[in-house]
Amino acid sequence: MKYVRYITLLAVLLLSTTMIGIQANATAPRYLKLQYQPQTHTLKVTIMHFSPIMKIHYVYRVEIDKNGEVYQAYLYNRQPRILFFSYTYNVSINPGDTITVSAYCVLWGFIQKSQTITTLKESLMI
């Protein structure tokens, strides 16, 4: 009977330690790259977000703001790759517009990038 208590206590401690490690592994998105193609009106958003368990810890929302107002928002229930992945959106951008893209982690934090567009070139890196 005494050994059952010790084994149960040991199992609870191991499980607790494992759960703390999983929570500490939750990271916010770290990198956001935007590339706009004015000919096709497409915005490619590349995100770096490390997640070995993509169904539990993932970027769940990407929001595109135009001139301070929500222009488009997309919800996801997993991320497509463990580290780097991209989404492409149809967006109409004009010179003078301010574009802000935000990527939100389901567990921890977000990343945001903003740029005021002065001219439209063949390919715009933001």
pLDDT value of position 14: 65
Superfamily in which the 26-125 domain is placed by CATH: SOR catalytic domain (2.60.40.730)
pLDDT value of position 25: 55
Mean pLDDT value across residues 83-110: 93
pLDDT value of position 28: 87
Length in residues, the chain: 126
pLDDT value of position 22: 47
Contact 113, 30 (CB under 8 A): no
Report whether pLDDT(20) > 60.
Answer: no
pLDDT value of position 24: 47
Q: Give domain limits for the chain.
A: 26-125
Which of the four pLDDT bands, split at 50, 70 and 90, describes residue 52?
A: confident
CA dihedral for 57, 59, 33, 40, sign (positive or negative): positive
